[in-house]
Amino acid sequence: MDHFLYKKGALHAEDVAVRNIAAEVGTPFYCYSTATLTRHYQLFTQALDPMPHLVCFAIKSLSNIAVLKVLGNLGAGMDVVSGGEYQRALAAGVSGEKIVFSGVGKTQDEMRMALLGGIRQFNVESEAELLALSQVASFLDKIAPITIRVNPDVDAKTHEKIATGKKENKFGIPINRASEVYALAASLPGIDVIGIDVHIGSQLTDLAPFEEAYFKIAELTVRLREQGHNIRRLDLGGGLGIPYEKSNLPLPLPSDYGALIKRTLGHLGCEIEIEPGRLISGNAGILVSKVIYVKEGEGQDFLILDAAMNDLVRPSMYGAHHDIIPVQEAAIGAKTRPYDIVGPVCETGDTFAKARPLTDLTAGDLVAFRSAGAYGAVMASEYNSRPLIPEVLVHGHNFAVIRPRPTLEEMIARDRMPEWLSNES
């Protein structure tokens, strides 16, 4: 469920007409719903009650600090994968003690930043990282709380580019080597082993891979405890999928996911962490764009929008589907025709959909891409020298621009001319 609904024929974000935002902000832009973010976060934390737990929002899915502030105010922790994301979490008012640092390539500068600024834990992904963290922590006279990310070799049955739990993926250590790596961690200065981390992939639409992985984690927890490790926290990652297409069969709900965690891991008495991103932010956002031209092709009509692959790369990168709807609701029974929906970037890959049925649209009409809140704005670029587009947050009857569109002059001014060129006539 989200809060982007038609009211009297006009698409609204909560209680704000989307066309009114477009008139003030210009297109294209991203729009996020506070009510949807709130509801989706609460579904996760309710699903884990009464187990001790922390829901850490995966900042990589949507990193605007206003969104992080909304979730932080609700009690969310944050899962970060870079020093920049760590600083964004702090800027949003989230304390370091509620920030989990994940990722395979943490630098020593990032480790130092988190140890000095406060950190809940590092999810360590390799022996090399473990040794580096011990060195940094010891130099600072700090103790680094860690989990070790294990790779359970479980097929998440998701897109190959977002699967992370198979043995050929770059993430974590093989689960069959866990004992020796935990023994190494326990021997190092500056390291406090507190738990286990696992994450098998993103956009999972079936609970079976989670169940397989979590049974392996339960067995590993018992074994590591027998070996003398005080395993008291389990970080289970994120990955629960959202319905990008209305035709999808019903997907598992957070309540189903919570029940699975309780059934497979509840007997261990561990604090549970989860790191959802997409399911909190995905349906909480839309991308709004304007039709520039309707072009008749050879047996196919093209809807050319002012949004492009640099604004929303998921269809080009993953072949991802987004429902695309008119901002002005079509009349009941109105005929549709197929459009190839494309952007203005000089790439054939700048295609959002092929032969997508829509009612007749003309230049100037507005359309909205649904379920665009996750991995939309965060993956945007300035390809073709197109400025990053605005982000807007709606709360009831109010909306605010939470990232403005830079001018062309501001974008170009970031470049610097070398002295030997600037002195040439």
Contacts of 122 by beta carbon, 8 Å cutoff, 6+ apart: 100, 101, 106, 111, 114, 133, 144, 145, 146, 147
What is each CA distance from 200 to 2, 41, 174, 178, in whole angstroms? 26, 21, 12, 16
**Contacting residues for 30 by C-beta, under 8 A, at least 6 apart:** 285, 286, 287, 288, 372, 373, 376, 377, 389, 390, 391, 392
Does residue 31 carry a catalytic annotation?
A: no
With beta carbons less than 8 A apart as the criterion, state whether 391 and 68 touch.
no
The catalytic position among 31, 56, 270, 346 is 346
Query: 72 φ, ψ to 5°?
Result: -60, -40
- Beta strand segments in 176-316, E: 191-197, 233-235, 271-274, 285-296, 301-305
Tokens of 345: 């970037």
Query: Are 111 and 142 contacting, i.e. CB atoms less than 8 angstroms apart?
Result: no
Catalytic residues: 346
